[in-house]
Amino acid sequence: MRIGLVGYGAGGRWFHAPYIDAADGVELVGVVTRSPERAAELHAERPGMPTYASLTDLLAAGVDAVAISTPPPTRYELVREAIAAGVHVVADKPFAPSAEVAAELGDLADAAGVRLSVFHQRRRDADVQTLKTVLDSGELGTIWRFTSCFDLDEPGSLEAGPHGGLLRDLGSHLVDQAYWLFGPVAQVSAHLEWVDLPEGRTDAGFALRLDHAGGVASFLSASKLNRLVRRTLELYGAHGSYVATGSDVQTRDVKAGRRPADDPSGWGYEPAQHWGRLRTAAGERVVPSVQGNHASYYSAFARAVADGTEVPVGVADAIEVLRVLDAARTSAVEHRTVELG
C-alpha cells in the first residue's frame, strides 16, 4: 500500500512516519508540508523523499492511501478531499469537529467505497495492552473502577484555541482507551481547566468521570501546564486491584532517535520499574510488560485495504469517542452530568 503523509509536524514526524516505516505491507511515498523548517527536517531524515505543497499535488502523484496529521481545524476538509479522490484514509484524532460531522464523513467514505480509519493508536500502548491481559484473565472478578492519569510537562505542545485544547487532544486517546476496554458510555461528568491564550480560551487540563453502560466507572485525567510528568493506570475489582505506572516508552524512544523498524521484536516494552502489580487474595505479583507497537496499527490498516477486513479503529468507534468529548464539554460548561442515549 503506497501511502502519503499529510503534515510533518510533531504528529507526522513522531507518531506516524516511524510506524509506517515499520509496518508490514506499507510504503511511505511522499509527504505534504508547506513549512520550510519541516521540509528541511524531512530531507535531513529521509533524503530523496518526495515533498508536496498540498494534498491535491500528492493525490495527483498517485497514492493508495493518505495519513492526515495536520492541525485540527484543517482535518475535515482534507479528509473530504481524500475521500472524493477515492483514496483510503487514516485520520488523526479528533478527525471531525463533532460526532455529527464524523458521521457525515463516515457516510461519504462508505459511498465512495474507501476505507476510513481514525488514528487511535494508543490502544496499542504497552501499559494499556498489559492492563488488557489482566482484565481478560478475570482474576479481578467484576470490575468496579478504572483510573487513567496522563500528565505531561509540555506547555509548548498544547494545541491552542477553540478547535484545540487538551480534552480533544490527549483526552481523545484516554476516552478511546476506556471505551475500547469497557464499552459504551452512558453518563459523562467533566471538569475542565482553562487558560487564556492569544489564539483564544483553551482547556489545558481535565478530569472526567465516565459511567459505562456495563457498570464500570472510568476516571480519566490529564494536564500539560502543571509541571508534572506522570502516567498511571489502575483497575479495581471485586477480587483485588491492579496498579501500574507507565513511561510512554514508544514516544520516548522515537524522540531519542530509536525506531521500531530497527528492533521489531524488542520494541515497545515498558522497563521493569514500570511493571504493574496485581493484588488478590492469592497474594501480590508483578505483571511483566506486554509489547506495545503502534506500527501494528498500520499493518492492520494495510490488511483491511487489501482484504476488505475491519480497519483498526472504525468510524463508529470514533463517533462514540466524539460523543463523549462533546458531552464532556457540555458537562463542564453547564456544571451537570450529561446522559448519553
CATH number of the domain residue 154 falls in: 3.30.360.10
261 and 305 together in one domain: no
User: Are residue 235 and residue 126 in the same domain, yes or no?
Assistant: yes
Mark whether 71 and 131 lie in a shared domain: no
Summary mean pLDDT of the chain: 96
**Measured distance CA(263)–CA(187) in Å, rounded:** 42
In a domain, 327, yes or no: no
C-alpha cell at 90: 487514516
Q: What is the mean pLDDT of residues 145-166?
A: 94
**Same domain as 281, residue 132:** yes
Asked if residue 334 is part of any domain, the answer here is no
pLDDT recorded at residue 290: 97
pTM summary value = 0.96
Residue 136 shares a structural domain with residue 80 = no
- Give the model's pLDDT for residue 95: 85
Q: State residue 72's pLDDT score.
A: 87
> Is the same domain home to 143 and 238?
yes
| Same domain, residue pair 282 and 306 | no
Identify the pLDDT of residue 163. Answer: 83
Q: What is the pLDDT of residues 28-61, one digit of tens each?
A: 999 999 999 999 999 999 999 999 999 999 999 9
Has residue 335 been placed in a domain? no
Q: Are 265 and 243 contained in the same domain?
A: yes
pLDDT for 161: 87
Please, which pLDDT band fits residue 83 given cuts at 50, 70 and 90? very high
Q: What is the DSSP string of 276-327?
A: EEEEETTEEEEEPPPP--THHHHHHHHHHHHH----SS-HHHHHHHHHHHHH
Asked whether the predicted pLDDT for residue 341 surpasses 90, the reply is: no
Any domain includes 164:
yes
Residue 119 pLDDT level (bands cut at 50, 70, 90): very high
DSSP 81-124: HHHHTT-EEEEPSS-SSSHHHHHHHHHHHHHHT--EEE--GGGG
**Domain of 28?**
2-119+298-311
183: Cα within 13 Å, side-chain hemisphere: 7
Out of 72-81, 155-164, 192-201, 206-215, pick the least confident. 155-164
Query: Is 169 part of a structural domain of the chain?
Result: yes
Residue of 124 and 97 predicted with greater confidence: 124
Per the DSSP assignment, residues forming a β-bridge with 206 are: 192, 222
In this structure, the answer to whether residues 228 and 126 fall within a common structural domain is: yes
Same domain for 178 and 249: yes
Q: Are residues 88 and 144 located together in one domain of the fold? A: no
51, 193: one domain: no
> Could you give the number of structural domains in the chain?
2
Instruction: Quote the CA–CA distance of 298 and 16 in Å, as a whole number.
Output: 9
* Residue 317 within a domain: no
Residue 39 — left, alpha, or beta (φ > 0 → left; ψ -120 to 50 → alpha)?
A: alpha
Count helices and strands in the chain by DSSP H and E runs: 11, 15
Neighbours of 338 (CB within 10 A): 19
Q: Calculate mean pLDDT across residues 305-309.
A: 93
- Whether residue 341 lies inside any domain: the answer is no
**Choice between 124 and 341, residue whose per-residue pLDDT is larger:** 124
Mean pLDDT of 160-187: 95
pLDDT in tens, 214-242: 999 999 999 999 999 999 999 999 999 99
- The answer to whether position 182 is within a domain reads yes
